[in-house]
Structure 1
Amino acid sequence: MILDVDTGVDDACALILACLHPELDLRAVTCVGGNAPLPDVVRNTLTVLEACGHTEIPVAAGASHPLLERPVDARHVHGDDGMADLGWPEPTIGVDARHAIDLLRETIDGAHAEGDPVTLVPLAPMTNIALLARMYPDSFERIGRIVFMGGGAMVSNATAAAEFNVFHDPEATAVVLDASADHDVPVTMYGLDVFYEPRITLADADELAALDERGPGALGAGLMRFMSRHFDSDSATIGDAGAVALLVDPEAVRTERLPVRVELSGTWTRGRTIVDTRDWSGDMDHDPHGLAQAQVDVALEIDGPRIARLWLDTIRKASR
């Protein structure tokens, strides 16, 4: 598995799960500007890996800007440093010298040569993945599966129409969806329809905090407490971690294969994922747009408590 991240509180939750769950093999992490500027994303990512004791996993920096637009960030949600302003020490491990696109290409090609195609999990704006698709289409074709956090069939957050990751770089998402259709790479969309449902309570956070002082328990507790305060709630979502959990427990999520497009030019709807839920079994020739090329397994329902337990149990077991 490869994670592409813009770490981010919820990306940090996903990294914790990817590092610690015994059924997951995290081979590389690539970083992109998004929730925070790229240097902060890289630092936050290295901090999480060090807290989890997985300093051997290569981390590479990628795109700092979207393909076309000026960058925006979400530090108003994730804190000034992008990861809950916890005041953790600077990581002692360094970033890989390779560009993220090269780390992606080499890891994908290596896994393919071993007969074990990699699962790519973008949890951020898909700028890096779009660049991979355009620069190295042969490598893109060797991806076993893409599970991305982004979009939504019925729910939005960055604007009234769009989810943040897609809104940040809609062209990149469109490139990746088109390339996945061209190269027969299966895609699952873990979007806002399910994103908020796996939640950790403040009581859960207190339990995590007691597990260690500078490990995944303390980190997870700090992240959840920060988000609970930010939203004035007694619980917080683990967000992106649900997309990783789907790989471990797919039965906890109901998906439906649906045509998906990205709106690129709407004045008020730019960045919206157009999830076509119509019945296409009949004559749809009257629709001038026709059927979207990309057929995506869209997550529509989730057992939130089950996914939250998986995340908590993974940290508990790793901290014993």
Structure 2
Amino acid sequence: MSAQPLKKLKKPRKIWLDTDAGIDDAQALMLLLSAADVEIVGISCVVGNVSVDKVTKNVSRILEACGRSELPLYIGASENLLGTPVECDFHGEDGLGDAGTCEPSAGTVVPIPGPAAMHLVQAVNEAPQEIAVVAIGPLTNLALACRLDSNFATRVGSVFVMGGAETGKGNISITGEYNFYFDPEAAKICLSCFSMMTLVTWECALQHEFSWQRVDEWCAKPSLRAQFMQGIIAKWSASAQTNNEAFVPCDPLLAAVAIDPTLIQESKTVHMLVELQGLHTRGQSVIDWLSSKKKPPNVKMVTRVDIERFCHMMNRSTDD
């Protein structure tokens, strides 16, 4: 009998995560860390929910809680492109729900020296078309990478972004979704440089909200990951349930789609711009529904995701 050929193993999906490390960023990172067919090639920190120093410590804490301290961590932009301050208290003073007693609290992973954008460019140049960049914070680091290397955007395999608002319904200003509003110049650069971005908007996240009881299931385990997630969401969960607010999956929903794009059940391809000047509309994402700019679509805007599969993935993320 002739020997049977060995089955070819599926190559892991290479992902670079760019994050401002709030609570839902932590959930997104834990989701990526639990995916069997994902290789995280780098994690870059960007100012957003909190200062970039706090973001770096938060990512370090998450990696330690998940037993993945060996992953490469980089410090990115400490301010948006114009250097203008933006106030935010979505996730507490430390960015992780002020869960100072939640172990591990040290955050001792040492970042690799050098600007994150530079390392991102280098990683993409070493593996052209192979890396999916997943951005769940302001797009400052990605914009800087585009400016550092004019070939960067064409060498990235794919780009997944949590940001923007389809209808102009804001969550930080009247019309601005936080990630775009924090650095609209960076969002504009990315929308003009990348030929296509897969986007989970604020409305998409709202359309997939569900009860906190499901979140409690992810945390009701003896594992360190579950206990860590329970610690960082405690204040958020208590406040939301007191106000009868559902759980809105922003960053983890984007991470799930990046891990497995077949989760997307409905989407729209559109040309998107960002308003930079308006008194009340700066940072607003604007869709050219009438093709008045006569430009090709640059965004695949996710509108419906398989929420049951997403919840299964989230439940798995808190296993040991």
TM-score (norm 1): 0.86
Q: Deviations over 1:285-311 (max 9, x none)?
A: xx4xx2346521011223334322221
Tell me if 1:243 matches 2:248.
Answer: no
Q: Deviations over 1:54-86 (max 9, x none)?
A: 111111111111111412242x22011011111
**Are residues 153 and 235 of structure 1, via their aligned partners in 2, closer, same or farther at CA, if it must alter by over 3 Å?**
closer
Q: 1:146 aligns with which of 151, 159, 178?
A: 159
Between the aligned partners of 2:310 and 2:160, the Cα distance in structure 1 is 16
Tell me if 1:269 matches 2:275.
Answer: no
Q: 2:233 aligns with which of 224, 233, 252?
A: 224
Secondary structure at 1:25 match in 2: strand
Aligned residues: 299
Between the aligned partners of 1:199 and 1:49, the Cα distance in structure 2 is 27
Between the aligned partners of 1:237 and 1:247, the Cα distance in structure 2 is 18
Please name the residue that 1:47 is paired with: 61
Between the aligned partners of 2:79 and 2:65, the Cα distance in structure 1 is 28
Please name the residue that 1:173 is paired with: 187
Please name the residue that 1:11 is paired with: 25
Tell me if 1:194 matches 2:204.
Answer: yes
RMSD (Å) for aligned C-alpha atoms: 2.0
**Are residues 23 and 197 of structure 1, via their aligned partners in 2, closer, same or farther at CA, if it must alter by over 3 Å?**
farther
Contact 1:18 1:24 in 2 (8 A): yes
Deviation beyond 6 Å, 4+ runs, structure 1 = none
Contact 2:218 2:314 in 1 (8 A): no
Between the aligned partners of 1:256 and 1:205, the Cα distance in structure 2 is 29
**Are residues 136 and 200 of structure 1, via their aligned partners in 2, closer, same or farther at CA, if it must alter by over 3 Å?**
same
Report the residue type matching 1:102 in the other structure: M
Q: Deviations over 1:124-150 (max 9, x none)?
A: 111111111011122332101111000
Q: Percent identity?
A: 27
Between the aligned partners of 1:197 and 1:29, the Cα distance in structure 2 is 28
Between the aligned partners of 1:73 and 1:123, the Cα distance in structure 2 is 18
Between the aligned partners of 2:151 and 2:222, the Cα distance in structure 1 is 44
Ranges in structure 1 where 5+ consecutive residues have no aligned partner: 281-286
TM-score (norm 2): 0.86
Deviating more after overlay: 125-134 vs 151-160:
151-160
Between the aligned partners of 1:117 and 1:128, the Cα distance in structure 2 is 19
Q: 2:84 aligns with which of 64, 70, 74?
A: 70
Between the aligned partners of 2:163 and 2:187, the Cα distance in structure 1 is 9
Contact 1:198 1:308 in 2 (8 A): no
Contact 1:11 1:123 in 2 (8 A): yes
Ranges in structure 2 where 5+ consecutive residues have no aligned partner: 1-14
